[in-house]
């Protein structure tokens, strides 16, 4: 992992937004259950939240990570790499093609 002055500045400008109706893009302010916390880095929103499988609402909770690239600008049109415990679990080229992803259960 290499940090440069531009990546450091972008990382330092990242902001955390807690799960409130006012802070969740695309959610009706009256819908408190639709809220999710996220980190904004550049124009990318990274949501991290607990949920349950749609097919098993009484099943175990899981941690979900969702990346919203809708407002992505050219300066941050970069590949995406997701790691867990230091191991790459997902990566995609900057052009949107998936390079590495785990198989679905």
Answer whether 74's CB lies under 8 Å from 45's CB: no
Long-range contacts of 22-29 (CB under 8 A, 24+ apart): 25/68
**pLDDT tens-digit series, residues 31-86:** 655 678 889 887 788 888 888 877 887 888 888 888 776 666 555 556 777 888 88
Give the 3-state secondary structure of residue 53: coil
Residue 23: what pLDDT?
64
Specify the pTM: 0.63
Residue 93 has pLDDT above 80, yes or no: no
The size of the chain, in residues, is 105
């Amino acid at each position: 992992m290499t940090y440069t002055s531009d990546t450091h500045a972008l990382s330092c400008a990242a902001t955390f937004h807690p799960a409130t109706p006012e802070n969740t893009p695309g959610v009706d302010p009256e819908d408190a259950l639709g809220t999710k916390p996220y980190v904004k880095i550049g124009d990318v929103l990274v949501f991290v939240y607990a949920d349950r499988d749609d097919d098993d609402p009484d099943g175990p909770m899981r941690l979900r990570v969702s990346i919203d690239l809708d407002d992505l600008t050219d300066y941050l049109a970069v590949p995406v790499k997701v790691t867990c415990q230091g191991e790459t679990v997902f990566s995609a080229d900057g052009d949107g093609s998936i390079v590495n992803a785990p198989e679905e259960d």
